[in-house]
Amino acid sequence: MTDPIRVVIADDHVLYRRGLQMVVSQDDDIDIVGEAGDGKEAVDRVVELLPDVVLMDVRMPHTSGIEACKTLKALVPSTKIIMLTMSDEESDLYEAVKAGANGYLLKDVPGEEIAAGVRAVHHGDSLISPSMASKLLAEFAQMSRRQGERPSAVGAPRLTDRELEVLRLVARGLANKEIAHQLFISENTVKNHVRNILEKLQLHSRMEAAMYAVRENLLEPGE
């Protein structure tokens, strides 16, 4: 038996926190160890409790979930953060990625999907649907065009050919299992490649890696 995944829920709506706690903690492998009603309290609770995963509302009073995410990534980098939101606005998604979030979910998804997401990010996967991944990449490409940036492959040679293959598939929104199937390698090997990619590029999450792939023009035409 492995230890349960320790989770903190941060949301300014008490009823939503209670409902989320009831749904997510139904299984024995997830343990809700704390709650917070705003971003500042979330930072304090996470630093105190050192949970494995935080479910963080994007918009909260005093300190937003985005700001709290930035702070926690500096203070407790081992804790994974899933941002929760009522909105599918690309700008919120983009800001969450820049803040170092490991996942991004709409609040109206079924509770079991949030529980599955907690397990996924705890085991090193990203948590974003292909449709939201497409929005993220489109937003980043649009911002690059507005800023007159010309993508280049600066820094890409630091990655091996296999790591570049994995990075391209990550940028397309594929999960580790799908990447393993496509490249005919084990899922554990994919996890090792993703970990090496993030370490080499000094990134926090798979979503940041996807942004890097777009910025450095590493995707093939049509991807």
Nearest-angstrom CA–CA distance, 179 and 32: 31
**Domain match, 40 and 76 both:** yes
User: In the sheet where 103-106 sits, what is the strand order?
Assistant: 30-36, 5-10, 53-57, 80-85, 103-106
- Look at residue 221 and tell me if it is in a domain: no
- Look at residue 19 and tell me if it is in a domain: yes
The domain boundary, picked from 60, 94, 127, lies at 127
Contacts for 162 with CB less than 8 Å, ≥ 6 apart: 183, 193
What is the CATH number for 143?
Answer: 3.40.50.2300
Strand partners, 105: 84
**Domain match, 84 and 158 both:** no
**Domain match, 189 and 95 both:** no
**Domain match, 116 and 153 both:** no
**Domain match, 38 and 81 both:** yes
- Look at residue 53 and tell me if it is in a domain: yes
Q: What pLDDT score was predicted for residue 91?
A: 67
Strand partners, 127: 103
What three-state secondary structure class fits 27?
Answer: coil
- Look at residue 220 and tell me if it is in a domain: no
**Domain match, 22 and 117 both:** yes
State pTM to two decimals.
0.68
Q: Domain total for the chain?
A: 2
Angle subtended by helix axes 130-146 and 206-215, to nearest 10:
40
- Confidence tier at 220 by pLDDT (50, 70, 90): low
**Domain match, 119 and 24 both:** yes
**Domain match, 19 and 104 both:** yes
pLDDT (average), residues 156-183: 84
**Domain match, 43 and 145 both:** no
The domain boundary, picked from 75, 104, 127, lies at 127
pLDDT at 78 over 50: yes
- Look at residue 113 and tell me if it is in a domain: yes
- Look at residue 223 and tell me if it is in a domain: no
**Domain match, 182 and 142 both:** yes
**Domain match, 168 and 64 both:** no
CA proximity to 83, closest of 114, 48, 49? 114
Structural domain for 92, as ranges: 5-127
Burial of 72 (0-12, 13-18, 19+ CB in 10 A): buried
| pLDDT > 70: percent of the chain | 81
The domain boundary, picked from 80, 111, 127, lies at 127
Tokens of 106: 């709409």
Least confident of 42-46, 141-145, 197-201: 141-145
**Domain match, 10 and 116 both:** yes
- Look at residue 171 and tell me if it is in a domain: yes
Contacts for 202 with CB less than 8 Å, ≥ 6 apart: none
